[in-house]
């Protein structure tokens, strides 16, 4: 991503699909999960909350390590796109997360979704609804095992 593109993201600020992080940590992985469960997004590492460029020290294997941490701690596995760049002489990292087709994605059994500029833990009902929706079905398609057609109240149906 060219510097101009990063600067444009910074100007937009944190949102439903942009997150600033000073360092890579477990909250970064939670954000990756939240992005995968919504519409995807970009995590910018080396930035303060308001988009101030702080920079970050990275070694030769840092980005591979971060990719592995995200992939190995998520279920199903997220494979992020990670890129290094320099802005105003400071090292920054861009992590792109695509929306995952089969949801929800979890980290250590916990599912998150992105709401505005924050991550929220999903309730069991949200998890079930998101899974049903992601596989292209609805609750209506499931049969009520313990019921028959005789259980339908036709007067209620007519009403």
> In this predicted model, what pLDDT tens digit does every residue of 113-125 receive, in sequence order?
999 999 999 999 9
**Can you list the domains of the chain with their CATH numbers?**
3-141 (3.30.950.30)
Asked if 140 and 72 count as a contact pair (C-beta separation under 8 A), the reply is no
> Quick one: pLDDT at residue 2?
64
> pLDDT at position 139, please?
57
pTM for this entry: 0.81
User: Cα–Cα distance between 12 and 18 in angstroms, integer?
Assistant: 8
Q: What is the DSSP letter of 53?
A: B
- The pLDDT value recorded for residue 9 is 85
Q: pLDDT tens-digit profile of 75-102?
A: 999 999 999 999 989 999 999 999 999 8
């Amino acid at each position: 991503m060219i510097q101009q593109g990063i600067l444009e993201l910074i100007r937009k600020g944190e949102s439903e699909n942009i997150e600033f992080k000073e360092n890579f940590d477990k909250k970064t992985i939670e954000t990756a999960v939240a992005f995968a469960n919504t519409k995807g997004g970009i995590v910018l590492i080396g930035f303060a909350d308001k988009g101030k460029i702080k920079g970050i020290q990275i070694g030769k294997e840092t980005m591979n390590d971060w990719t592995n941490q995200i992939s190995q701690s998520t279920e199903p596995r997220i494979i992020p796109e990670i890129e290094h760049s320099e802005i105003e002489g400071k090292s920054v990292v861009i992590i792109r997360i695509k929306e995952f087709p089969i949801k929800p994605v979890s980290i250590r059994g916990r599912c998150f979704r992105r709401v505005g500029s924050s991550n929220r833990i999903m309730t069991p009902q949200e998890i079930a609804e998101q899974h049903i929706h992601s596989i292209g079905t609805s609750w209506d398609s499931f049969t009520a095992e313990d019921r028959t057609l005789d259980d339908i109240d036709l007067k209620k149906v007519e009403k």
